[in-house]
Amino acid sequence: MKLLLLFVTLVVTGQVGLAQQRGFPVATNDESGFVSIFDGQSLAGWAGDTNYWRVEQGTLVGEVTAANLLKVNSFLVWHGGEPRNFELKVQYRISANGNSGINYRSVMVTNGPWAMRGYQADIDGRNQYTGQNYEEKGRTFLALRGQVTRQVNDQLPEIIGTLGATNELLAAIKNDDWNEYHLIVSGNTLTHILNGHVMSVVIDEDTKNRRFDGLLGVQVHVGPPMKIEYRNFRLKNLTTLPK
């Protein structure tokens, strides 16, 4: 745990180079060990409601139209395993009214045919929530954009650090263009990085509710018509960092 807290301190204070030298995970362009989990041509390996999900010109498209509005959030779920400690990189583009997210260490639930509960790297077209850690159908907001938090049983998240000025982090997110999410998930430390900027970090010490493995999935959300596109899904399995 002390080593993970040191990693958070180094990232928060901007000492990314030192963090990397000491073997802690930071955003890099290194693609070694990453494996593609989306073939760009079909939904092979994924399952969900094809009324909302399709493949088009090499991208995974989730779309809600006026003719097929949702009553509950719906997910497209990767069936290639239940990653435990991993890095995930993926590019996304979202419409102005869009609302989506990347779920991980999640489980399927019964209050919808394709509903999930678990950690989510949030995405929305207005960038009100993009970058935060939100637990879908669970504890809800675990860390807002710019926060490092510690989550303990039956308590609200404790803010233990910040990741930069809110306007600077917001400026790193591209509107109507492709962005790259990089998730680093190891042990009980969950790091969301967007376009090379660390957006949120959660240290989950909630032994009642945290999970150490589970499903990956992507979301289309209830609300107005929207469109989300994903491409270049790459997954890398990690060994657990010492606690």
Average pLDDT on 29-57 reads 96
| Nearest partner of 200 among 89, 122, 126, 105, judged by Cα | 122
What is the pLDDT confidence band of residue 21, given thresholds at 50, 70 and 90?
A: very low
| Contact of 82 with 213, CB cutoff 8 Å | yes
Instruction: Output the pLDDT for position 113.
Output: 84
Whether the pLDDT of residue 223 is over 80: the answer is yes
Of 18-32, 61-75, 121-135, 205-219, the least confident: 18-32
φ, ψ of residue 149 in degrees (nearest 5): -125, 160
CB atoms < 10 A from the CB of 112, how many? 16
Distance CA 142, CA 157 (A): 6
Length of the chain: 243
| Cβ neighbours of residue 17 closer than 8 Å, sequence gap 6 or more | none
Structure tokens at 238: 């990690």
What's this model's pTM, rounded to 2 decimal places?
Answer: 0.88
What is the pLDDT confidence band of residue 154, given thresholds at 50, 70 and 90?
A: confident
CA 24 to centroid of chain Cα atoms: 19
Distance CA 181, CA 188 (A): 19
Instruction: Output the pLDDT for position 239.
Output: 79
Q: What is the 3-state secondary structure (H, E, C) of 147-179?
A: EEEEEECCCCCEEEEECCCHHHHHHCCCCCCCE
| Contact of 5 with 202, CB cutoff 8 Å | no
Of 25-39, 75-89, 93-107, 227-241, the least confident: 25-39
The domain spans of the chain are 32-237
What is the pLDDT confidence band of residue 26, given thresholds at 50, 70 and 90?
A: low
Structure tokens at 146: 């710019």
| Nearest partner of 6 among 25, 17, 16, 19, judged by Cα | 19
Mean pLDDT across the chain, nearest whole number? 90
- Higher-pLDDT residue of 191, 17: 191
Structure tokens at 79: 């069936």
Of 18-27, 105-114, 234-243, the least confident: 18-27
Q: Which CATH class is domain 32-237?
A: mainly beta
